[in-house]
Amino acid sequence: MTRPAPLVDQFQRRITYLRLSVTDRCDLRCTYCMPERMQFLPRKDVLSLEELHELSLGFIARGIRKIRLTGGEPLVRRDMMELVQALGRTIGASGDRGGLDELTLTTNGTRLAEFADGLVEAGVRRVNVSLDTLDRDTFVRLARRDSLPQVLEGLRAARAAGLAVKLNVVALKGVNEAEIPEIIGWAHAQGHEVTLIEVMPLGEIEEDRFDHYLPLVAVREGLEQRWTLTPSAHRTGGPARYFDVAETGGRLGLITPLTNNFCDGCNRIRVTATGQLFACLGGTEQVDLRAALRGDDPQALLGDALDTAMRIKPQRHAFAITQPGAAPALSRHMSMTGG
């Protein structure tokens, strides 16, 4: 039996990296991500654990080598660890379906202390933790929840369990801008990497993103007045470009969707918790994988849907934050698409 063809888009980019959302729900309400009174999906619309697993195996058979589990907040889903364990068993596997090189996840860290050991046992070796501030008052302002102590406890537990941690920090003008060097220095002292991210225009929120948009070009210039940043060849399969920081001994990543488009080498697709495949984070092109999974011939329908996704994946996104009061580039929230 011939192995299914790998996923290659119309621009000859081979797709090997899946970001799979297991829920749109989150226990925080970060101001740049979602409104306080967020309307979450009805549970019946969300893919079951079995569907998420079947879908993942279908992607692996088509050449996906890395899966990042996302949300919302993935660790708030009750059966999340069952999926992690099932996918962990594919790491390094061979045969018709192939296997994963890596399974990882992005989390806000609030429940990481509870799950760190289990993640390692299942085969996860590193996690991304979203953390925009080390100041408790600023955290409450940003996340609308007083959860910084739990996040820091989660980071300690991750380190004790042997998980490599990368902190994702959204750079926000006038909010955490002055604190960024402190966050980097603290993280490197803890043995964590840090990636700075420009705020993305996704979903309606109460605040104007223009007020908080901070180009990372300016941040990098400021950091280079303090430290020696040397470009690094390190890559993780994502869009970050890395620098070694001589004075801290750590690594710094920059994700710049607005000031330095990184789409030429895109190897990623995203699938929502309802099974909608978005070929680009910044596009509307989508394919309904849930309908394929629940159809009469799931394997054939899923194969056709993935072929369609490769044909419609755009060359690049069109994110921009250029004027106050502008509507977001897309109405859907990041928590719907998966980070």
For residue 126, what is the domain's CATH number? 3.20.20.70
Reply yes or no on whether the pLDDT at 82 is more than 60. Answer: yes
130 appears as a binding residue in the annotation: yes
Q: Quote the number of domains for the chain.
A: 1
Cα angle for residues 261, 266, 271 (degrees, 5° grid): 115
Helix (H) and strand (E) counts in the chain? 11, 12
310 appears as a binding residue in the annotation: no
Is 6 domain-assigned? no
33 appears as a binding residue in the annotation: yes
Reply yes or no on whether the pLDDT at 316 is more than 50. Answer: yes
321 appears as a binding residue in the annotation: no
269 appears as a binding residue in the annotation: yes
Mean pLDDT of the 21-41 span = 84
* Average confidence score pLDDT of the chain: 87
265 appears as a binding residue in the annotation: no
Mean pLDDT of the 183-203 span = 87
256 appears as a binding residue in the annotation: no
Predicted confidence band at 42 (pLDDT cuts at 50, 70, 90)?
confident
Residue 166 tokens, joined: 């990368």
Mean pLDDT of the 146-165 span = 98
66 appears as a binding residue in the annotation: no
Is 5 domain-assigned? no
Mean pLDDT of the 206-234 span = 84
67 appears as a binding residue in the annotation: no
Is 223 domain-assigned? yes
Total Cβ atoms within 10 A of residue 318: 12
Give burial (CB, 10 Å; 0-12/13-18/19+) of 134: middle
Residue 226 CA to residue 242 CA, distance in Å, equals: 17
77 appears as a binding residue in the annotation: no
Structural domain range at position 324: 17-337
Is 56 domain-assigned? yes
Reply yes or no on whether the pLDDT at 172 is more than 70. Answer: yes
Residue 44 CA to residue 48 CA, distance in Å, equals: 9
222 appears as a binding residue in the annotation: no
Cα angle for residues 244, 234, 102 (degrees, 5° grid): 130
Is 2 domain-assigned? no
User: For residue 106, what are the CA distances in angstroms to 115, 128, 144, 159, 167?
Assistant: 13, 5, 20, 15, 10
pLDDT (tens digit, 9 = 90+) per residue, 221-267? Answer: 999 999 999 999 988 767 789 999 999 999 999 988 654 555 667 88
The pLDDT of residue 329 is 43
Question: Highest mean pLDDT: which of 114-128, 191-205, 244-258, 281-295?
Answer: 114-128
Total Cβ atoms within 10 A of residue 279: 22
Mean pLDDT of the 184-213 span = 77
Predicted confidence band at 321 (pLDDT cuts at 50, 70, 90)?
very low
Q: Is the pTM for the entire model greater than 0.95?
A: no
Residue 211 CA to residue 130 CA, distance in Å, equals: 21
38 appears as a binding residue in the annotation: no
Is 3 domain-assigned? no
242 appears as a binding residue in the annotation: no
Is 230 domain-assigned? yes
266 appears as a binding residue in the annotation: yes
Is 9 domain-assigned? no
